[in-house]
Amino acid sequence: MNRYFGVVAYKGSAYSGFQRQSTRPSVQGEIERVLSFLIGKEISIAGAGRTDAKVHANGQTFTFDCPKTLKNDFVYKANRLLPKDIEILSIVPCDLSFHARHSSCGKRYIYRFLPFGKKVLEVDTLAQLRRDDFCYERFVEAIHVYLGEHNFQNFTTKADDVDGFIRTITKAEVNKDGEVVEVVFEGNGFMTYQVRIMVGVALKVALHQLEVEDVLAALNSPVRKILSFKAPPEGLFLDKVFYETEPGL
């Protein structure tokens, strides 16, 4: 048996998320359909993590086991059969002990949004607020609060967590690309809806509906009270999954 490590990019607009669904289209389901057809055996893949419906990826990763040795043109053949909004970037052999999720040591997420105006051609890949009361300085201040180790129990809908909801954010940056605001988060792990809630709360600060002190209070509160301010999914990208040693490098 051989194990392979893959990297895939996708536009998530047409899918219910990365994870396989029984009745709805998913990125995982499309990849498994194509791999199974080409290999001639039912193939299941393990992704590095889930992404929500309408969320995208520049570098989602997955592993799968295969009884065959894949040829050099396998990725080319797979991409010809995949929908145009999913592209496998690479597939390389890896050790049988390697796992896309369990071997990961961190992830990078990017969130892009347009505070003012509208970009019609990017409605699926850019969150568009169309607000005239957005304060960039307040937004940046709120995003920087997340840097470091915190208890994010109020920033996820995850029911329970073996690490007590403790995560370390090693990068929390805000940049401007013209009119578009881009947020970059890197950390050792992210839980269900965590990035979207973090951005959503910061947006509330930017719109003068919350204060930075409210963000600090939510991070330090011993009582769990999940915040309901999720940023729209369209602006979120899983940009990269980190490993101590990545196969093929």
* Average pLDDT over all residues of the chain: 95
Q: Which residue among 64, 79, 102 closes a domain?
A: 102
Does residue 248 sit within a domain? no
Residue 28 to residue 33: CA distance in whole angstroms? 8
Q: Judging by DSSP bridges, how do beta strands 127-128 and 104-114 pair with one another?
A: parallel
132 and 227 in a single domain? The answer is yes
Q: Which two tokens stand for residue 167?
A: 């995560």
Q: What is the DSSP string of 224-249?
A: ------PPPGGGEEEEEEEESS-TT-
| 136 within domain boundaries | yes
What is the reported pLDDT for 151? 95
User: Looking at 102, 131, 156, which one is the last position of a domain?
Assistant: 102
Using CB atoms within 10 Å of the CB of residue 102, give its burial: 0 to 12 exposed, 13 to 18 middle, 19+ buried. Answer: exposed
- pLDDT digit string, tens, across residues 5-61: 999 999 999 999 999 887 899 999 999 999 999 999 999 999 999 999 999 999 999
229 and 127, same domain (yes or no): yes
Whether 39 and 148 map to the same domain: the answer is no
Residues 112 and 222 in one domain: yes
Residues 205, 162 within the same domain: yes
- Domain identity same for 168 and 236: yes
pLDDT over threshold 80, residue 202: yes
Pair 91, 111 in one domain:
no
pLDDT at residue 51 in the model: 93
Structural domain total, the chain: 2
Whether residue 86 is found in the same domain as residue 126: no
- CATH number of the domain where residue 135 is located: 3.30.70.660
Average pLDDT, integer, range 100-127: 94
Tens-digit pLDDT profile for residues 144-166: 999 999 999 999 999 999 899 99
Residue of 152, 187, 185, 145 whose CA lies nearest to 168: 187
**Predicted local distance difference test score (pLDDT) of residue 176:** 94
What pLDDT was estimated at residue 132? 87
CA-CA distance, 131 to 170, in Å (whole number)? 30
Q: Are strands 56-66 and 148-151 parallel, antiparallel or unpaired?
A: unpaired
For 85-144, give the DSSP string. TEEEEEEEEE-TT--TTTTEEEEEEEEEEESSS--GGGTTTSEE---S---HHHHHHHHH
Regarding whether 84 and 10 lie in a shared domain, the answer is yes
Statement to judge: residues 125 and 194 lie in one domain: yes
Residues 174 and 192 in one domain: yes
Predicted pLDDT of residue 249:
61
User: What's residue 220's pLDDT?
Assistant: 87
Is residue 65 part of the annotated active site? The answer reads no
* Phi and psi, residue 113, nearest 5°: -150, 160
Q: Percentage of the chain surpassing pLDDT 90?
A: 88
Domain termination site, one of 55, 78, 102: 102
CA distances from 92 to 76, 135, 207 (A): 13, 45, 46
Q: Write out the residue range of the structural domain in which residue 168 sits.
A: 106-240
Given this model, what pLDDT does residue 22 score?
Answer: 79
Task: Assign residue 48 a region (left: φ > 0; alpha: ψ between -120 and 50; beta: otherwise).
Answer: alpha
Cα of first residue to Cα of last residue in the chain, in angstroms, is: 22
Rounded to 5 degrees, φ, ψ at 233 are -70, -25
**Domain holding 46: CATH number?**
3.30.70.580
Tell whether 116 and 194 lie within a shared domain. yes
Pairing of strands 46-47, 56-66: antiparallel
Q: What is the mean pLDDT of residues 131-135?
A: 92
193 pLDDT more than 70: yes
